Every structure is written in C-alpha cells, then in structure tokens.
C-alpha cells in the first residue's frame, strides 16, 4: 500500500497505532492526524513497560533485562507504523500495525512481530516463501462484558446452545446475529476468510482465515480477534479466547503452513502422491526435534495445559502423522496448492506471531540440516501406555525449562527473544503459585481474572 494511502483517508480524525506484547495483547496509542503525520517515519514513543507488563498490569520481574529496558528505568522505545497495514477501521478511525525499535534505531529482539519478520526473511534468503493460515476458536456468552466482570467471569451462559458441528444457522438467532456481524466486519476491513463453523462446545465458534505470508497471517489473526471482541461487546455479549474456560471442550488455534521455492510447493511431490515429500520430511525433522522446546509458545498460559485432555481433540504426545488429527503435527498430502502441515498443538490463547515464528524456526532448522523425523504415528495418539511415546510437557514450568535448555531454536530466534520469553513465562508461573487461591485440578478465579478478556 502506498504511503499516500493515509492522505486518501480524508474522514479520519484518529489513528490507532498498534503492536502486540508477549501475551498477544494489542498495545499502542491513538493519535490525531497531525501527530501521526509528524511521527509516521520515526515512530511514536512508548514506555519500555509496553513489553514488560503481565496480564494483571504488574511489571514482570526476576530475569535480566535487555539494554533497551535500561535496568527498569521506564525509558522509551519506538513503535514505527508499517503503512502496508493501514486500514480505515471504522468511520473516523484508522488503524496501522507497527514494529518496536530502540531509540538507537535497532529492532527490538523481543518484539513478537519482528521475530516473525526475521524468520520469514531467513526463508527468503534461501529462496523460499511461506503461506500460513490460522484457525481461530472462541466462545461467546449471552452476558455483557460488564455483567461478566461483575460475576468474575463465573457461571456465564454460552450463546446459542449446544449444537456441536451443526450449521451455524441451525442455532439461535442471537448466535447467528453475532457470527454474521463478525464476517461483515472482516469484509469491511479486508480480512479474507474461508469458512466459519460451530465448534464442539456450547457457544463456540471457529473462523478460518485465508492463507498469506506469515506476517500478514499473524496481522490478520490479531485484527480478527479484535473484531470478534468488539462485535461481542457492541451486541451486549462477552467472549473469551481462554484455552479452557470450563469442563467442556477446550479452544485451539491450529496453524497450517506450506513452503515454496521457484518450482512450487516443496511439501508436494508429484511422484509420491499421498506421501510427504523429502523436503517436507526435512522440515518435519526440525519441527519434531524442537517440539518440546517450542511448546511454551504454543501453550503460553497456566490454563493452556488444562486443554490437553485425552480424546478431546488436542494432541498430548510429541508425534506427527499423515492425515492423523490425534498427533501434534498433521501432514496433509494433497495437490500442489493444498499440501501442507497442520500444527495442532497451539491453544487459542497463544500469540500467533511467537507461535508461528517458533514453528517456522524448527522447520528451517530441519531444512538446513536435512533432518530426519521419527516415523509417522499411524495409530490414535491418545490414551497410550505412559512412557511409550514422548508426551507434550504437562505444565508451563516444564515447557519453559525445555526451551531454556535448547540451543537449536536460539540459533534461529535469537537469544534476546528466547530469554525474554523465558523470563516472562517464569514470571507467569511464579505469579500463579504465589497469588492464586487454587486447587491445581480446578480452574481458579485467578485464571479467569487474568485470562478471560486479554489472553
């Protein structure tokens, strides 16, 4: 999009400049048009705490700060708008997504969007391009957000009743009203969607966003979730992307990825129809070698691990298989355009910039080293004899420890990105274990207060 696009938005009186923090929450500022014009090149100032707060608005502590955090003195960083993302969000309001930079003009290594840009560029240096898409799941409730807050997000009523896998239009009119309002907003903003469907639990919906390059796919994910929230609130409803808000089925965010070179999709082999290509196997070799280390990106919160229930859909083992939805990674051999890998581990509360960057980093490692994956798993990968197959880490502590001990992802993601993520996730674990009145087997009020609106 041309940089003159902003001047074409003649009715705009406010400009929202946005980024995401470690938890995937939109951060930024709303500017007057004059202020935006004055800083569209150099960026707007944000306190370094924009990347330093947890979901309870407390500063995350207990780990070494990078230089740009100035040892906790709340110095500024810069949010530089990427005008290729500029849209008219609604009448009078423009929206533009940006990247975080130091005052010295260096990209911030801990910025989730910059991390995804770096790994995408590493593929481009090798003559490779990526298509990625996200399946977004959430649950909508009858109660307004104000009522949900008053109830501490407890005892809410899912919108639309329970009609798992039924066509959306077979559900109640209020549910249909919500879904149709969301897709109308997608169309207005220019977020191409492919499908929506009712999910397994009451009030649960899934939107499938069309494939794009990784950064665009993650930008669309961030905006789609914001739209889903805004529409819910405008209709007097509430919504959550918590990975598990009740004993009902949890919520995921499956990733679909393919990689191409000048000859087309490298995951497709016309001589081996229905089978992974050699380069898909190399990619898988790297992904599987780093799956445990990358788990905390896919499952970033305390509640994320409550979703890992046998026979409920989410993978619980470090396995891959051809057309096997019980595995963490599913190979989908189809035609040249549709052959892909589906990463089924990510929960709905994951930050897609981080999750996609980690998955692609593992894949690039495999391509570079021509790695060999373990044999595909050909049975149901649930309810197996304990110890017979490596399990997905059972909690955030174990997942973070695996990442911290890994040196392979660091080579592709960078020390600052990994160390800052590890520090924040350990703070998350410590906060839960020092602040929550809890029974580890049950969802705590602390989890609802922390994750219901912002995760």
H-state helical runs in 142-255: 145-150, 173-189, 214-234
CB burial readout 143-172, b (16+ within 10 A) else e: bebeebeeeebeebebbbeeeeeeebeebe
Q: Where are the domains of the chain?
A: 5-108, 120-435
Same fold, 5-108 and 120-435: no
CB burial readout 318-329, b (16+ within 10 A) else e: bbbbeebebbbb
Angle at 18 between CA 230 and CA 253, to 5 degrees: 60
State the pLDDT at residue 170. Answer: 62
For the chain, what's the residue count? 455
State the pLDDT at residue 72. Answer: 62
* Residue matched to tokens 């380069």: 279
Distance between alpha carbon 225 and the CA centroid of its chain, in Å? Answer: 10
CB 447 within 8 A of CB 453: no
Cα(237)–Cα(275) distance, integer angstroms: 45
What CATH number should be reported for the domain whose range is 5-108?
3.10.20.70
Fold of 120-435: Creatine Kinase; Chain A, domain 2 (3.30.590)
State the pLDDT at residue 416. Answer: 97
The predicted-structure confidence for 290-347, as pLDDT tens digits, reads as follows 999 999 999 999 999 999 999 989 999 999 999 999 999 999 999 988 999 999 999 9
Number of Cβ atoms within 10 Å of the Cβ of 395: 16
Candidates 282, 289, 396, 388; CA nearest to 331 is 282
354 conformational bin, left if phi > 0, alpha if psi -120 to 50, beta if neither: alpha
State the pLDDT at residue 440. Answer: 81
DSSP bridge partners of 313: none
The two tokens of residue 218 are: 């993650």
User: Could you please report the per-residue DSSP string of 70-136?
Assistant: GGGS--EEEEEE-GGG-EEEETTEEEEEEEEE-TTS-B-TT-HHHHHHHHHHHHHHTT-EEEEEEEE
Q: Mark the ranges of the chain whose per-residue pLDDT is less than 50.
A: 1-2
H-state helical runs in 372-414: 396-405, 408-413
DSSP bridge partners of 133: 256
- Dihedral of CA atoms 188, 189, 191, 197 in degrees, nearest 10, equals -50
The helix/strand/coil state of 1 is: coil
């Amino acid at each position: 999009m041309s940089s003159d696009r902003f001047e074409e938005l003649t009715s705009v009186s406010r400009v929202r400049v946005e980024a995401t923090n470690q938890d995937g929450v939109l951060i930024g500022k709303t500017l007057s048009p004059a202020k935006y014009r004055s800083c569209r090149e150099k960026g707007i100032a944000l306190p370094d705490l924009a990347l330093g707060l947890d979901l309870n608005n407390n500063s995350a502590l207990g780990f070494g700060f990078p230089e740009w955090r100035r040892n906790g003195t709340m110095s500024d960083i810069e949010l530089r708008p990427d005008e290729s993302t500029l849209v008219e969000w609604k009448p009078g309001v423009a929206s533009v997504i940006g990247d975080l930079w130091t005052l010295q003009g260096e990209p911030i290594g801990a910025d989730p969007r910059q991390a995804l840009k770096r790994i995408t560029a590493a593929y481009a240096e090798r003559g490779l391009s990526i298509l990625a898409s996200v399946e977004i799941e959430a649950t909508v409730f009858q109660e307004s957000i104000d009522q949900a807050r008053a109830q501490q997000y407890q005892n809410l009523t899912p919108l639309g009743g329970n009609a798992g896998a039924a066509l959306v239009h077979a559900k109640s009119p209020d549910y249909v009203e919500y879904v149709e309002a969301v897709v109308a907003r997608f169309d207005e903003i220019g977020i191409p969607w492919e499908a929506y469907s009712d999910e397994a639990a009451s009030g649960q919906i899934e939107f499938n966003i069309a494939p794009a390059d990784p950064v665009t796919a993650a930008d669309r994910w961030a905006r789609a979730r914001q739209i889903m929230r805004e529409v819910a609130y405008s209709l007097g409803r509430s919504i959550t992307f918590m990975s598990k808000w009740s004993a009902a089925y949890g919520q995921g965010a499956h990733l679909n990825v393919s990689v191409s070179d000048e000859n087309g999709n490298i995951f497709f082999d016309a001589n081996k129809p229905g089978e992974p290509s050699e380069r898909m196997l190399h990619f898988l070799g790297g992904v599987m070698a780093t799956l445990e280390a990358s788990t905390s990106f896919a499952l970033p919160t305390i509640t994320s691990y409550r979703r890992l229930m046998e026979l409920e859909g989410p993978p619980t083992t470090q396995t891959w298989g051809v057309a096997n939805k019980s595995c963490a990674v599913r190979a989908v051999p189809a035609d040249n355009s549709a052959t892909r890998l589906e990463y089924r581990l990510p929960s709905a509360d994951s930050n897609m910039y981080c999750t996609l960057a980690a998955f692609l980093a593992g894949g690039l490692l495999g391509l570079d080293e021509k790695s060999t994956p373990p044999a595909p798993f050909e049975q149901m990968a649930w309810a197996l004899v304990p110890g017979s197959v490596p399990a997905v880490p059972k909690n955030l502590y174990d997942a973070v420890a695996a990442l911290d001990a890994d040196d392979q992802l660091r080579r592709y993601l960078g020390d600052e990105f990994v160390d800052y993520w590890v520090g924040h996730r350990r703070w998350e674990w410590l906060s839960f274990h020092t602040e929550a009145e809890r029974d580890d087997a049950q969802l705590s009020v602390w989890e609802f207060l922390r994750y219901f609106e912002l995760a």
